Amino acid sequence: MDIRAQVSMVFHLDKCIGCHTCSIACKNIWTDRKGAEYMWWNNVETKPGTGYPTAWEDQDKYKGGWEQQNGKGSDIRLKLHSRLGGLGNIFFNPYLPTVDDYYEPWTYDYDHLFSAPEGDDQPTARAISLITGKPMEIEAGPNWDDDYGGSPVYAENDPNLGALTEEEREQLTEMERVVFFYLPRICNHCLNPGCVGACPAGAVYKRGEDGIVLLSQEKCRAWRMCVSGCPYKKTYFNWSTGKSEKCILCYPRLESGQAPACFHSCVGRIRYLGVLLYDADRLKEAASAPAEQLVHEHRSLIQNPHHPLVIEAAKANGISEAMIQAAQHSPVYKFVKQWKLALPLHAEFRTLPMLFYVPPMLPVLAKIKDGVYDNADAASAQLGPLLSSLEQARMPIRYMASLFSAGNVDVVEDSYRKMIAVRIYMRAKMVGDVSEEEVQQALQAGGTTAEEVEAIVHLTARPTFEERFVVPPLAREVAIEQTLDPFTQKREGGFGFRRAPARGA
């Protein structure tokens, strides 16, 4: 058992209101720089939709992540290329998104509003490209398909819709039945990162003490294989410095005990951060599992931080007492391992992402009837007017399975049944219009207990700041002292580049 610590995340999608505050917080801190204008280390997408960059989930096009080799046991290989193929394509990586697939970043000619000569019309501020510096037509943006904007183009082409029947697809966009939800995304800080596997320069690495995936600005040689290799398209190429960049999980904030900016600023308080202890010996096995078992294998990697054997192995690996304590209080451990509510995004990419999502329940279907908001038809009489059932889920379960469980419907259903049990339990408790028998049925179906439900409700609806973000003391000074004088690091580290990046070697 090779126990390591990983700072992990849970996003509770039912609480996301799609306000993009997280994206703005991140933008203002990290990517408000030349060459990084188009980057959104954190972005929020509407689902169904093609997201940012366009159709990033389509690995036939982008070749991200890992795949099982045919007839070679259970070994997985990079979908992008073999070692030799990578060498052959090193000057010619054909699987990159174009600027247009992200979007051409722009600003406005604000100065014109003040300096325009007097005329009959109001002066306007034209859009100016941040790449060419010339006036441009805006054709797309990072959240261009927000709330089904341009859905005949964008939502239509969501790769996950392939899992649905023609009828189901039509229902999704039917008038008054329209349904969508938001999917905020940051780097997943995977256990088996495609970007690390694809980098020919060895510039991308996973930090030992906390598992944060970082990209060295000194070692990066601009091959851009990480951009293709990451199936989530969360590494970006800075066209000004000639280096790739990615989400750093705000490690300077974490190191000083603060939650990352996108977590801290989240309006819906959907984000949870905590440490998970996992068994690195079984990584390859878990990443190579058959698709329907991927989520199960992924969960089985995560070890109980209260178990004496795990604690012993963790200490043997140099994980500090404080880190183990943080793992014991981790909200992520509860959502992912204990309650089995949160699921990894696109487990079939086999990168073992460490950002988990609690799938959304979505509002109950209703229609305007005689000018009144009426949901009597839609909701099952048995469950009462405000509660949905799994069978009546507005977004077909197979769509959710395509997103969160590599197509395994059972895993998603288990998660949903438990959440339905929570709703029914709380309805009975708060309103009292559900019979005790129904509550017990729901609890049984959800495989949960009243105690667990209370805990879930507390962490979902009424968590304190400290319960949402259990930031471990990262003790960077201890981690670096073998190779670097911590006092030198203290003086030289910080914002900006310690050495100005330049193009070329």
Q: Closest separation between CB of residue 91 and another protein, Å?
A: 13
In the region spanning residues 106 to 145, those forming contacts with another protein, defined by CB under 8 A, are 139-140
Q: Closest separation between CB of residue 70 and another protein, Å?
A: 25
Q: Closest separation between CB of residue 275 and another protein, Å?
A: 37
* Residue placing its CB nearer to another protein in the complex, 94 or 119: 94
* Residue placing its CB nearer to another protein in the complex, 55 or 358: 55
Tokens of 14: 């039912």
Taking CB under 8 A as the criterion, the residue among 22, 55, 421, 424 binding another protein is 55
CB atoms within 10 A of CB 98: 9
Omega into 53 within 30° of 0, i.e. cis? yes
| Candidate ranges 20-28, 51-59, 243-251, 376-384; the one touching another protein (CB under 8 A) | 51-59
User: Strand locations in 116-215, DSSP E?
Assistant: 127-129, 181-185, 204-206, 213-215
Q: Closest separation between CB of residue 56 and another protein, Å?
A: 9
Taking CB under 8 A as the criterion, the residue among 15, 61, 77, 253 binding another protein is 61
Are 209 and 475 in contact by the 8 Å Cβ rule? The answer is yes
Q: Closest separation between CB of residue 93 and another protein, Å?
A: 9
Taking CB under 8 A as the criterion, the residue among 42, 43, 46, 50 binding another protein is 50
DSSP state letter for 391? G
The helix-helix angle for 450-461 and 409-430 (nearest 10°) equals 90
* Residue placing its CB nearer to another protein in the complex, 42 or 50: 50
- With the C-alpha atoms ordered 76, 78, 79, 81, is the resulting torsion angle positive or negative? negative
Q: Closest separation between CB of residue 104 and another protein, Å?
A: 11
Binding letters toward another protein, positions 74-113, x by CB under 8 A: --------------------x-xxx-xx------------
Angle at 256 between CA 331 and CA 495, to 5 degrees: 125
* Residue placing its CB nearer to another protein in the complex, 6 or 43: 43
Question: Total number of residues binding another protein (CB under 8 A)?
Answer: 19
Q: Closest separation between CB of residue 139 and another protein, Å?
A: 8
User: Strand locations in 380-487, DSSP E?
Assistant: none
DSSP state letter for 473? -
Q: Closest separation between CB of residue 101 and another protein, Å?
A: 5
Q: Which residues of 365-391 are buried (b: 16+ CB within 10 A; e: fewer)?
A: bbeeeeeeeeeeeebeeebbeebbbee
Q: Closest separation between CB of residue 157 and another protein, Å?
A: 5
DSSP string, 88-125: HTTT-------HHHH---EEE-THHHHHPPP-SS----
Cα–Cα distance for residue pair 30/23, rounded to 1 Å = 10
* Residue placing its CB nearer to another protein in the complex, 100 or 147: 100
Cα–Cα distance for residue pair 24/47, rounded to 1 Å = 20
* Residue placing its CB nearer to another protein in the complex, 58 or 292: 58
Q: Closest separation between CB of residue 54 and another protein, Å?
A: 4
* Residue placing its CB nearer to another protein in the complex, 140 or 354: 140
In the region spanning residues 147 to 206, those forming contacts with another protein, defined by CB under 8 A, are 152-154, 156-157
Task: Enumerate the β-bridge partners of residue 77.
Answer: 67
Taking CB under 8 A as the criterion, the residue among 18, 35, 49, 53 binding another protein is 53
3-class SS of residue 285: helix
Tokens of 56: 């990033």
Answer yes or no whether residue 304 interacts with another protein by CB under 8 A. Answer: no
* Residue placing its CB nearer to another protein in the complex, 50 or 351: 50
* Residue placing its CB nearer to another protein in the complex, 233 or 298: 233
* Residue placing its CB nearer to another protein in the complex, 98 or 482: 98
Are 6 and 211 in contact by the 8 Å Cβ rule? The answer is yes
* Residue placing its CB nearer to another protein in the complex, 96 or 291: 96
Q: Which residue reads 């398209």 in tokens?
A: 233
Q: Give CA separation, 234 vs 53, 124, 434, 486, in Å.
A: 9, 35, 45, 30
Q: Closest separation between CB of residue 230 and another protein, Å?
A: 16
Q: Closest separation between CB of residue 178 and another protein, Å?
A: 18
Are 65 and 59 in contact by the 8 Å Cβ rule? The answer is yes
Q: Closest separation between CB of residue 322 and another protein, Å?
A: 46
Omega into 363 within 30° of 0, i.e. cis? no
Q: Give CA separation, 405 vs 267, 365, 502, in Å.
A: 27, 25, 42
* Residue placing its CB nearer to another protein in the complex, 101 or 109: 101
In the region spanning residues 242 to 301, those forming contacts with another protein, defined by CB under 8 A, are none
* Residue placing its CB nearer to another protein in the complex, 14 or 58: 58
Cα–Cα distance for residue pair 297/153, rounded to 1 Å = 36
Binding letters toward another protein, positions 442-461, x by CB under 8 A: --------------------
Q: Which residues bind another protein (CB under 8 A)?
A: 50, 53-55, 58, 61, 94, 96-98, 100-101, 139-140, 152-154, 156-157
